[in-house]
Chain A
C-alpha cells in the first residue's frame, strides 16, 4: 500500500507526516530571529558542484531553436550560496532540494532530499555549532512533544525521545576532535592515523580487509564507522571536529595545526546530522581543489562536467570569513517524528514512486 492510501485508511498518520511542516517552520523562525536572510537557489544548473564521489542527475536544456545545453540537478546548494556570500549577502540560509544518483537503498537516504544550509558571516565552524545547538532546542519547542525530565538539571525543551531512548539537547553538546576520538576509541595515535602506510597496516592487523588497492581514506572511514561512530551521539548530539585536510575539500586549514582542517560533523542516535566547515575563502586554493576533484571524478568514471568558473570568479570578489553547514532535513524530521526510516516521513518516498521493492 502506498503512503497516500495509508493516509486515507488511517487518518491518525497525518500527524507524523506534518512534523515536517513544523520542523521547517521552526528552522525559518530560528534563522529569521538570528537576522539571516533566506535565499532561493536554482535546481537546474549548467554545472553542479565538484563532488569527487557523488553521482549527479544529468538532463538537457533545449530552446525553441533546437539549441541544447547540458543541465544538471544540484547535489548541494553550496556553490550558489557562496556566490551570494561573496556578493555581500550577509548571513543566509536556504531550505531546498538536492539530488544524488547511483546510491544504494538505506533508511537514511532518498535520491531527492531536502537540505538546509546556513552560512554565518562573519563567523567560523564553532559559531555554526552554537547555531545548531540553538536550532535543535527551537525545533523541539515547536514540535511541543515535551515531557518532564527525570533529571531536574535539564529543561523539558532539552529532552528528545527517539526510538525509546532519551537524548539531551542541552548545550554545550559533547565535542571531541577526530584525533582524540581515534586515540580514545580506537587506540590509534595521530601520527599513525594520518599516515597512509601505517594506518592501512594498523587496519590489517585489526582484521580489516586490505589489499594493494585499499586506500588510506577507505581504512580511515572504516575505522570511524566500526570503532568510533557507535560511541558518538549516544546521550545527545556529539560534534566530531577537526578532520584531516584531505577529508575537508571546502574548508580552511587550522592555523595551529595545518594537518587538520576546520570541519565538524554532528552525530546523534546513529545518524550523521550535519557537516560544517570554516569556509575556504582563498580562490586559488579553491580552484586547485576543484580541479583535483574533477580529475578524481574522471579517474572513477563518473559523469563529466566542467568546473563552475562563476564560483571561482565570485570568490575573487572576496568571500568573507564564514562558517557554513549542510544539514539533512529529512533526518531531522525523522528524529522529531520518532521515525526509524526517513521514508516514513515522506509522502512520496522514491521506492513507492518508482515501484522499487524495499528489502
Chain B
C-alpha cells in the first residue's frame, strides 16, 4: 500500500478513504489563518458513486489506491457503453459514460487515452486535453458583427456544434480544447 502527503493531493488522484476507493474530484488548500494548513477535498467512491467531503491536515499521510493505468483505443459506442481496446493485447473493455464527464462528444474512432482500472474495472479516464477534428458543416461568414472577435457555429465530425472564428471553412481541420469547449487553432 502506498501513501502520499495530503498537501500533494489533487484532482484525479485515487485514495482509500474509510476503506473505500475514492477519486479526488476537488481539492483545495485551506488555511485557517491563525493555524496550520489543511487540504479540503471532495471524493467520489468509485464503486458506489457516493460523494464525501473531508478536510485532511496537510501533513498527514493518505493511503492511495493502486490503480493500473493503460493506454486504450476507442472502438465504438452502444448506448451509454463505450468500447475500448488495448492495442497491445487486443483485449476489449467497456467504459461507462459518466467517466467521460461530458467529453464523450469528442470521441472519434481510434482515439487513444489512458484509462485507470481498479480490481479490473475502469474507474477513470484521462481524456486528451485537445482534439483535432474536421469541420463537416459550416456556413459562410455573415457580414455584420465584426467588432467583438466575431464567431460562428460549425458542426464537427463527431456531430456536435462548436464556436469558431468566421474564417473557418467546411472541410478544414481544427483543434478544440476539451476542457473549455473552445476553438484553439487550425490544425
Binding site for B on A (CB under 8 A): 1, 5, 8-11, 52-54, 103-109, 207, 209, 213-215, 217-218, 220-222, 224-226, 230, 247-249, 272, 275, 359
Contacts and interface: CB of A to CB of B under 8 A. Distances in A.
B99 to A, nearest CB: 18
Nearest to B10: A359
Interface of B: 7, 10-11, 18, 28-40, 53-57, 59-61, 148-149, 151, 180, 182
A207 B149 contact: no
Contacts of B7: 104
Nearest to A105: B29
Given A214-B57, A218-B57, A222-B56, 4 more contacts: A104-B37, A218-B35, A225-B32, A359-B11
Nearest to A243: B34
A225 B55 contact: yes
B149 A106 contact: no
Contacts of A54: 33
B36 A218 contact: yes
Contacts of A220: 35
Interface centre among A108, A222, A230, A248 (most CB of B within 10 A): A222
A109 B31 contact: yes
Tell me what chain A mostly uses at the interface: helix, strand, loop, or mixed.
loop
Given A218-B35, A225-B30, A8 B149 contact: yes
User: What 4 pairs between A and B have smallest CB-CB spacing?
Assistant: A104-B29, A225-B55, A106-B28, A209-B60
Given A1-B182, A218-B57, A105 B18 contact: no
A53 B35 contact: yes
Contacts of B60: 209
Contacts of B59: 213, 218
Contacts of B11: 359
Contact of B148 (A1, A9, A226, A275): A9
A247 B34 contact: yes
A221 B57 CA distance: 9
Contact of B149 (A9, A52, A215, A249): A9
Given A8-B148, A11-B148, A222 B57 contact: yes
Contacts of A11: 148
Contacts of B31: 53, 103, 109
Nearest to B151: A9
Contacts of B35: 53, 217-218, 220-221, 247
Nearest to A102: B37
B149 A222 contact: no
A46 to B, nearest CB: 23
Contacts of A108: 28, 30
Nearest to B55: A225
Interface centre among A10, A213, A214, A225 (most CB of B within 10 A): A225
Contact of B34 (A8, A103, A109, A248): A248
Nearest to B9: A104
Contacts of B148: 8-11
A52 to B, nearest CB: 8
Contact of B32 (A5, A10, A221): A221
A53 B36 contact: yes
A209 B36 contact: no
